[in-house]
Amino acid sequence: KASQKPPLTWEQNCCDAFLRLVFIVCKGNIHQRPIVNCDQTGVILILSVPYHTYNPHRSKQVKLHGKEEKRAFTSLIITSIESGMLPTLLVWARKTGQYLPALQLRALVENDGHLFSFNRKTHWGFLPTIKIYFEELIKLYGDGIITKHGLQANAKMIVYFNCWTVYKS
């Protein structure tokens, strides 16, 4: 299946989206710091050299994230005006969570706030994973920004999801 091409009017669409965002910020008196942009990108891991690892030399045990020739996951990424990159949510295509990367490998990045999830059908994010992302990362970030800058408790936050029509859920 061929990838979807951007519409011919993509430049005008981007300009319109920017102007809508400016209008909402100005009209709603929204502070600039709690504005975040979300996107997702697919990542395909291909084990190209079967006898190579990044573990220390002479390690007795080598943890792998999978023995297949190819593994795919999606990284949901958030950028903010205040902090740059926020932690990511990595979505793996598996029927159960037991096929996520090894717990010891995940723990290294989960300690920094990154999340792992799975989708039973595909590695792309879908509504339940977006909800996890929002509740466990975006909302906490917004609450922290409101507290840090002394904004009103009911201050508004803008979450801009970069969506194409191919994202149906």
Domain borders along the chain are: 37-50+60-161
Q: Are strands 158-161 and 115-119 parallel, antiparallel or unpaired?
A: unpaired
125 φ/ψ angles, rounded to the nearest 5 degrees: -65, 150
Q: Taking a C-beta distance cutoff of 8 angstroms, is the pair 169, 126 a contact?
A: yes
CB 132 within 8 A of CB 89: yes
What are the pLDDT tens digits along the chain (169 aa)?
556 677 888 899 889 989 999 999 999 888 888 899 888 888 877 665 555 666 777 777 766 555 554 577 888 888 998 878 888 888 887 765 566 777 787 888 888 888 888 777 776 767 777 788 888 888 888 899 999 999 998 899 998 887 655 444 4
Question: What is the identity of the amino acid at 153?
Answer: A
